Amino acid sequence: MLGSTHGTLTTDFRARVEACGETPRTAVHSTAAPAAGNAAERDVSGRPLHSDVPDLDRFFRPESVAVIGASDTEGRPNTGITRQLIAWAERVGARVHPVHPTRTSVFGLPCHASVAELPDQVDLAVLLVADPVPVIEELADTKIRFAVAFASGFAETGESGAAAQARLAAAVQRSGLRLLGPNTNLNAFQEFREDLDGPAIALITQSGHQGRPVYALQELGIRLSHWAPTGNEADLETADFISYFAERPEVGAIACYVEGLKDGRSFLLAADRAARNGVPVVAVKVGRTETGARMAASHTGKLTGADTVVDAAMRQFGVIRVDGLDELQDTAALLARARPPQAEGVVVYSISGGTGAHFSDLATEAGLTLPTLSDAKQAELHQWIPPYLNVANPVDNGGHPVGDWRGRKIIDAILADPSVGVLICPITGPFPPMSDRLAQDLVDAAEATDKLVCVIWGSPVGTEEAYRSTLLGSSRVATFRTFGNCITAVRAYLGHHRFTASYRSPFDEAPRTPSPSYRKARALMRPGQQLSEHAAKQLLRAYGIRVPREQLVTSAAAAVRAAGLVGYPVVMKASGPQLAHKTELGLVKVGLTSASQIRDAYRELTDIARYENVPLDGILVCQMVERGVEMVVGVTRDPLFGPTVTVGLGGVLVEVLHDAAVRVPPFGEDQARTMLRELRGAALLDGVRGAPPADVDALVEVVLRVQRMALELGDELSELDINPLMVLPRGQGAVALDALAICH
C-alpha cells in the first residue's frame, strides 16, 4: 500500500508554534481512507473533513430500469434512446420498465402509464422528458435511488436556466434520490469490452464528446470500466464519482475532463480519498487562461488568479493535470497498467545517436532523471555494441545489434541495472525486419521484468505489424506515438508513486476547535473594513507572528519619545484604515537617526496624508530591522475553495515578479516547504553572493501560523498581506515589517 516514512517538525519548531496557543498542522500518515458516514465531522472553519462515498453500484449495475417517456415510434429522438437503453439493460442483466401515459407497450415490453405504477424494486429512472422537475417530485414517493436527466436548457443557457437548475436541485434534495445531469447524455450506458483484463480506467467527463478518445482506448487493448458523463452536476458531481471509483478494486486510474468544479472542498476530499488508496487521478481542467474576477487591494490577491488556485490544489492532492485529450489517454493508460517503479532512473535506448540525444534533451528538461550508467555496466554493453558508440545513457547501439541475438542481451542488461526503473526506446520510423525484431525483443523483455518498458512508435502510418500486433498486443509495454506524450506520462507515473509513497492526509489532523489566538484575533476584526497597519499587526501578534518593536503616536513630541524607546535608527509610517500601499504615496520614511529627523518626518507624513485626504489613526514609529530576504505571505478567499495561503518573493517588485506558490488549507509542514521549493527565486533563501542562508524554518512557521489564521478567520478575513516579511539569517527568525488586512 502506501509508504509510512515521513518527516516531522523539530521539537524547537513545534514548541515555538505551540507558544501562541496552537499546534502546527502536520498531518499523520494514514494508509486507509476514512469510512463513509463521517461527513458530519468538520474542521474549525466549519468545512467537512471526510466525504461520504455514494453507493453507485445500483446506478452502474441496476437490477431494473424505468424509462420515463419511452417511445418506439420511428423518427422520434426518444425511440433511439429507448432502444439503446434496452440493449444496455440486457447486457447488465437489468429489467426495463417503459413509462408512457398513452402506450400499453414499447418494443414489446409492457408499458406503465405513470410513475405511480412502477414496481417497488426499480433502481434507476431515466427521464426522457423536457422538464424533469415534475417527474422528480413524483419519484419522491417511490423507492427509486437514482435518476438521469438528459434535458438541456439549464445552467448552461444563462441566468434563467440557472434558476431552473436551482429548482431542479431543490426538488432532487427533497426527493432523497440522486440525479445525474441535467444536460448529460448516454455515455454511462455505452457498451464496454468484456474481453479485456487488467486494471481499468474509469472515465468522468462534463462534456460527453471529450471522453471519446479515452473510450476508444479499448480498441488498443486498454480496459475501460465506467463512464460518468456528469453534465451540469445539479446533484451528482465529479467529486462523487472520484470517491466511488477510488474504492473500486478494478479501477487502476481515473481520467477526468472537467469544465468547472461544483465545490472545492468536495473535490479535495475526493482527491484525498484517491491519494490515500493510491489511485491516480488524471484530469484535463479547462480554464487555464481565465483571470481571477476580483479587485484585490493586497499583493497576495493580485498574485492569485482562479486557475492558479485550481492548479495548486490539484498538485497538493496529487491530481495529475494534463492539457490535451491525447495526454489524458496516454497518461491514464500508463498509470492504470504500470507496476510501481523500482527506481526513478530512466535509460534511453535507441538505434540512432541523434534520436537518443534528442529524446534525452527533452526528458531531462522535463525533470526526468537520466543516470549515467556505471563503468562496469558500460563495459558489459560494449560486449554487444561497438566501442566507439556512447552507452553511458542514452545508449546508442548503432542499429545492427537489434537485428540478431545481441538485441535482447542489451535490453536485459540495461533492465538489470538497479539504478534503472524505466527503459524508453524511441523508434522514429519502422525499418523492417530489424524494427520487427526490436519490437518483439522489447515485448519479451517487458514480460520478464517488473520494470517499465516504453516504446515510442513514430511512424505516422500506424498500420505496421510490429506496432499493431506486437507492441499493442502486449499489456506490459507502454506504447506512445509522440515524444511529448511519453515524457508527460512517465513523469506523471514516477511523480504519482513518489507522491503516494509519502502521502499524509492533511484532513486527519486539521484543527477542529478554535485556538486561544482566535479569541484574541476576533476582537480585532471590523466587518467590511480594512484594518490599519497597526491593527493588522496586532492581528499577527495574536497568532504569534513576530513584528518589529513599534509605537503608534499622534504628535511629533510623542514620536521623538517613541524613537528613544524603540531605538535608533527607526522607520516612520502613516497608519490608517484606508492605506493599502503607503510607499507609492510617500508615506514611509526609513533610516531616521535623530530627533530633528523624527519631527520633520512626522510633519511631512501628516501633510501628505492631509493633502491626499487619507484619514490616519496615527504615525507608527518602528524598529528598523536589518536586511534579510523579503518575502510575502498572505491569505485570499477563493470563491471555489475558500481561504487560500500564498507565499512568494516580496518587497516592492512582488507584483512584477509574480513568483508565488499557493495552497488550500489544511496542509502540513511538508507542503509549506514544497511551496518554497516551487519559487523561481528559492535560491535566495539559501544565500547568494555571500549572503548567509535565511531562516527557512522561521518562514515555514509563519506560513503555518497564517494557515491557522486562514482556517479560523477564513469567513471573516477577505485578504491578508504580510509584505515584506523579512526572513533573517538562519536562527534569527522572521519579522513582519508591514501588514494589510481586509475584513469580510
Residue 7 has pLDDT above 50, yes or no: no
Percentage of the residues of the chain whose pLDDT score is greater than 90: 81
For residues 744 and 293, the model is more confident at 744
In whole angstroms, give the CA distance from residue 465 to residue 443: 14
User: Which strands form 420-427's sheet, in the order they lie side by side?
Assistant: 395-396, 345-350, 420-427, 452-457, 477-480
| Stretch 98-122: mean pLDDT | 93
CA distance 700 to 500: 23
- Per DSSP bridges, beta strands 395-396 and 420-427 are unpaired
As given in the structure block, the three cell numbers for residue 115 are 410513475
Alpha carbon distance 506, 663 (integer Å): 12
C-alpha cell read off for 255: 481520467
CB 536 within 8 A of CB 578: no
pLDDT tens across 578-621, in order? 787 788 888 999 999 999 999 999 999 999 999 988 899 999 99
**Per-residue pLDDT at 24:** 38
Per cent of the chain over pLDDT 70 is: 92
Residues with Cβ within 8 Å of residue 494, at least 6 apart in sequence: 341, 344, 368, 421, 422
DSSP bridge pairs for 677: none
pLDDT of residue 289: 66
Q: Give the pLDDT score at 106.
A: 96
d(CA 489, CA 198): 19
Q: What is the pLDDT of residues 165-187, one digit of tens each?
A: 999 999 999 999 999 999 999 99
CB 82 within 8 A of CB 70: yes
* Average pLDDT value for residue range 100-112: 95
Q: Would you state the pLDDT for residue 40?
A: 59
Compute the distance between CA of residue 129 and CA of residue 694 in angstroms, rounded to an integer: 65
Instruction: Output the pLDDT for position 715.
Output: 84
Q: Which band of pLDDT confidence, cut at 50, 70 and 90, is reported for residue 25?
A: very low
Cis peptide before 101 (omega within 30 of 0): no
- The 10s digit of each residue's pLDDT in 498-543 is 999 999 999 999 999 999 999 999 999 999 999 999 999 999 999 9
pLDDT, average across residues 124-137: 95
Return the pLDDT at 287: 80
The residues near 118 (Cβ < 8 Å, ≥ 6 apart) are: 66, 97, 99, 112, 142, 144
The closest of 428, 354, 434 to 402, measured between CA atoms, is 434
pTM for this prediction? 0.90
Grid coordinates representing 680 are 523561481
Cβ atoms of 51 and 696 closer than 8 Å: no
- CA 385 to chain CA centroid, Å, is 45
Q: Is the pLDDT at 30 greater than 70, yes or no?
A: no
Strand partners, 126: 67, 148
Q: What are the pLDDT digits (tens) for 336-364?
A: 999 999 999 999 999 999 999 999 999 99
Cα separation of 667 and 106, whole Å? 56
DSSP secondary structure letter of residue 290 = P
pLDDT of residue 99: 96
Asked if residue 666 has a cis previous peptide bond (ω within 30° of 0), the answer is yes
Say yes or no to pLDDT of 440 above 90. Answer: yes
Q: Using 50, 70 and 90 to split pLDDT, how confident is the model at 218?
A: very high
pLDDT tens digit sequence for 672-696: 999 999 999 999 999 887 789 999 9
HEC profile of 213-248:
HHHHHHHHCCCEEEEEECCCCCCCCHHHHHHHHHCC
Residue 315 pLDDT more than 60? Answer: yes
User: SS in 3 state form for 512-525?
Assistant: CCCCHHHHHHHCCC
User: Over 50: is that where the pLDDT of 372 sits?
Assistant: yes
Phi/psi of residue 610, nearest 5 degrees: -65, -40
Give SS3 for 415. helix
Beta strand extents in 206-344 (DSSP E only):
224-229, 251-258, 281-285, 320-322
Total residues belonging to the chain: 744
Instruction: Let me know if 287 is exposed, middle or buried by CB neighbors in 10 A (0-12, 13-18, 19+).
Output: middle
Is residue 143 over pLDDT 90? Answer: no
Q: Name the residue among 167, 454, 509, 424 with its Cα closest to residue 338.
A: 454
Residue 569 CB partners (closer than 8 Å, separation 6+):
591, 592, 593, 624
Q: β-pairing, 395-396 with 345-350?
A: parallel
pLDDT tens-digit map of 244-296: 999 999 999 999 999 889 999 999 999 999 999 999 999 999 887 644 334 33
- What mean pLDDT, rounded, does the chain reach? 90
* Residue 653, pLDDT score: 65
C-alpha dihedral over 372, 374, 378, 379, to 10 degrees? 160
